[in-house]
Structure 1
Amino acid sequence: MAITRPAGTAAGLVAAVRARGGMPVLLPGLSLRTVEDTRVAATLLDHALTADVVVFTSPAAVAHARQLRSLATTAVACAVGAGTAKALARAGITNVRFPDREDSEGLLAMDVMSQLGHARVALVGAAGGRGIVRAALRDRSAQFEEVHVYRRGPARLDARHRAAAGAFTPRDRVLLSSAEALANLQRGLAGAPWQALLGATWIVSSERLAAMARDAGIAIVHVASAAQGQALLDVAAHVPD
């Protein structure tokens, strides 16, 4: 079972796959790096944490922000999903709001996000991505700011990754929760390894991602209810070989 989570972040999902009797194969679609100027990022984060509402876009955003400074804040803290909320709880922020639908659209549909008025809103994450939350907050709030606490980029895929991918068959599963990861894997595993992965069974985290996977040439695609590992694994377990 291929795990495409960012390099260095898949330990929990690896353990969960093994607990279910599967054999995890790491094919990271992304690497996460610290921002180049941590001093500037820390200063911007200090200011962001004094906002009325602070939105953390991922567990990685929380982890990298914690490396810059304490996350103590009196702001209303929002997270894109339960995983990010748990990361914030570990950082000492326990009263976190997050949506049932764990994606950008779900976050923006929450009452606190749709009734901003003239509140000051800060978004903590990385540059790039879909940009839906960023664009919506700019439209909804007269006082919007953004802090990049980490950077996303392609993971380094070597001969071992190519060999592992090249051995995949329709009986093997690929777990995917990122459009960027999909694009990076397609480039990084170009040739026979990617052709083998195209024939595998893919479990993705949204209908949007399913459409992108099919556009990339993937024939067997199943959609999970969320991006969390448990949701992806539940679908993978019930897909017939």
Structure 2
Amino acid sequence: MALWVGLCQARDMPRARSETSLKQWHVISLRPKDRHAAVRRAAKRLGARVFAISTSILQPTDARTALTAARRADIVIFTSPAAVAFTVAKVSLRSRRGQTWLAIGEGTAAALRRAGIADALAPAQGAHSEALLAHPLLQAVRGTRIGVITAPGGRDLIAQTLQARGADVVRADVYRREPTPPNRARRTGLQRLPATSALLLSSGEALEVLWSALTIGEQLELTARPCVVASERLADLARAKGWSAPILAASARPDDLLTALSAYVRSGRFR
């Protein structure tokens, strides 16, 4: 536990600002509609421009009963900032004595803290299911009641793994992702981006929606651009689509994705 606390403290230390400017670059964001603000802030810091091509829209679901049960669990897990936003749109959050609140990444933990959960925890490194499941508090969970507040879709690795470890998992799907394939005009805009443009990939589902909408020629043009991925799993997906050398970021946080791209550009590997 001491090691975990130390890592969490290290997470909050200021990061060195030695990134290479991305002034000539565009970054392609596949975030859901109206969810590109964090990417725009991170890109602006390094001088990059954002080409937003949303492949989904987030819609609330009626999950009050499941949400009530999940919030009363011994351990409460949120899988995205959107899960926090859709929850607090329905109810206020309050931590009871002895209860633990975990987030899949620091962005989600920050959203929980803003919502009133001051002691929300997140992995020190990574913002994905595997990183969260490595948390010491999620190892010996047999008989523990765990609430997972999330959305349907994806791999469902968190709930499945916790159930396999013997936990009593209560799942609340507080929103859903409605696929929105890009129209021809948006695809044309994607094709017209300069060579100095890179795809930011933090969701396999988002890429699949985009991929299905593209012609074979458009797919080939996209894979000629750098692709920054948020996890090893997404790196495998990118390679399966045709990217030879995806750039691995520390997490799905926009700052980490842009930092990875900056390091790639600074290395001189882009030609």
Tell me the alpha carbon deviations over residues 51-102 of structure 1, each in whole angstroms, 9 at most, x when there is no partner. 1111111111111111121122323111111001001011101111211232
Question: 2:171 aligned with 1:149, yes or no?
Answer: no
**2:211 counterpart residue number:** 186
CA contact (8 A) 2:69 2:170 kept: no
| Deviation for aligned residue 1:238 | 2.5
CA contact (8 A) 1:165 1:194 kept: no
| Deviation for aligned residue 1:200 | 0.9
Count of aligned residue pairs for this structure pair:
237
**1:21 counterpart residue number:** 47
For structure 2, the residue ranges without an aligned partner over 5 or more in a row are 1-26
SS of structure 2 residue aligned to 1:141:
coil
Question: 2:94 aligned with 1:72, yes or no?
Answer: yes
Give the letter aligned to residue 74 of structure 2: D
**2:73 counterpart residue number:** 51
| Deviation for aligned residue 1:31 | 2.2
Aligned residues with identical type, % of pairs: 32
Give the letter aligned to residue 61 of structure 1: A
Q: What is the alpha-carbon distance in structure 1 between the residues aligned to residue 109 and residue 167 of structure 2?
A: 26
Q: TM-score, normalised by structure 1?
A: 0.92
CA contact (8 A) 2:28 2:50 kept: yes
Q: What is the alpha-carbon distance in structure 1 between the residues aligned to residue 77 and residue 85 of structure 2?
A: 14
Q: What is the alpha-carbon distance in structure 1 between the residues aligned to residue 215 and residue 156 of structure 2?
A: 27
SS of structure 1 residue aligned to 2:196:
coil
* Equivalent residue runs for 1:161-240 within 5 Å: 161-168=186-193, 170-240=195-265
| Deviation for aligned residue 1:106 | 1.3
Aligned-CA RMSD value: 1.7
Q: TM-score, normalised by structure 2?
A: 0.82
Q: What is the alpha-carbon distance in structure 1 between the residues aligned to residue 134 and residue 262 of structure 2?
A: 31
2:118 to 86, 91, 94: 94
Q: What is the alpha-carbon distance in structure 1 between the residues aligned to residue 64 and residue 142 of structure 2?
A: 27
Q: What is the alpha-carbon distance in structure 2 between the residues aligned to residue 206 and residue 162 of structure 1?
A: 26
